[in-house]
Amino acid sequence: MPKKTLSREEVFYNERKTVFVGVVKNANIVGNRIGRRKSDNLRVRASWLFMRACVTAQSIVQLFDPRPSEFGDAIYLDHGSIAVLCRALIENIAVLLYIADTTISADEWSCRMHLIDLHDFVNRQQFLSGISFKSSMKSPDKLAATLRSRVADNAFFKTLPSKRQKRLLDGDDMFIDGRHQAMLKLGWGEDATKAVYKYLSNQAHSLAMSFHRTEHNQVYAQGSVYPKVVAGFTTELATKALGMGCVRMLDLFPDTELALDPAVALAFRKTYA
């Protein structure tokens, strides 16, 4: 029986899937080598985020192999969920790079961590009040004041423009220069970063771009290549992010590189550093 000729879209998807699975495999090797160990606050937080990224990546891998649905014998590639998980993975790595930045001063790193504490508190309080949950916390206002004071007293924070200081002290943003600046550390450039984030956000929030051409593109027709194009494109982006995360973890925990094949470690650094 002659071998089926794959379309360009199917080849594109298969290639992106194969590369992603390979990067995930090596990311898991790095994560397992790091394991549970005592380290400084920067590296501990980085390892939390890297573990989260590896778990998310594994979920994406599992979605590559869809099971028969309850719609007869139909099988659907869940491209929407793959895109959403890729967005989560990319943001996860952006935060990892932001937290695990060893090139900044101690004052700036402390400022970043204090802002994260404040942002967490403010958002948590807003969430709990929204669901009418009565917290057992004593003197939340006092704690909020303490967290804001800690930020305001930071030497690096005092160098920021007053307008930015006010916004940060409100707890609305956990990034000193905003999320977009943190995302730029992925190295995709100004315009591409904005475009990618817009596309992935449309998928995550079920905005028009995620469903408006369902019929035109025959998204749920058996054998449709459309889901594979979406999955391949978003997976390619997630691969680049996860690769950068791996390189950062190799830098933070140099002994982990010994767990990788030397050729693989070199390829990671050449491709994702």
Could you give the CA distance from residue 5 to residue 25 in angstroms, rounded to a whole number? 29
CA separation for the pair 57, 21 (Å, rounded): 9
DSSP letter assigned to residue 77:
-
Residue pLDDT, tens place only, 130-179 = 888 777 777 788 999 999 999 999 999 999 999 999 999 999 899 999 99
Q: pLDDT value at position 2?
A: 64
List Cβ<8 Å contacts ≥24 apart for 143-149: 144/118, 147/114, 147/117, 147/118, 147/121, 148/118
Q: Give backbone dihedrals phi and psi of 49, rounded to 5 degrees, phi first.
A: -70, -35
- pLDDT, residue 72, reads 75
What's residue 69's pLDDT? Answer: 76
Task: List the structure tokens of 128.
Answer: 């709990």
Q: Using alpha carbons, list the distances in angstroms from residue 180 to 51, 64, 188, 196.
A: 23, 30, 11, 11
Tell me the pLDDT tens digit for each residue of 4-30.
788 999 999 999 999 999 999 999 999
Dist. CA 242–CA 92, nearest whole Å: 9
- Candidates 174, 193, 192, 195; CA nearest to 183 is 193
pLDDT at 4: 77
* pLDDT-flagged residues of the chain (< 50): none
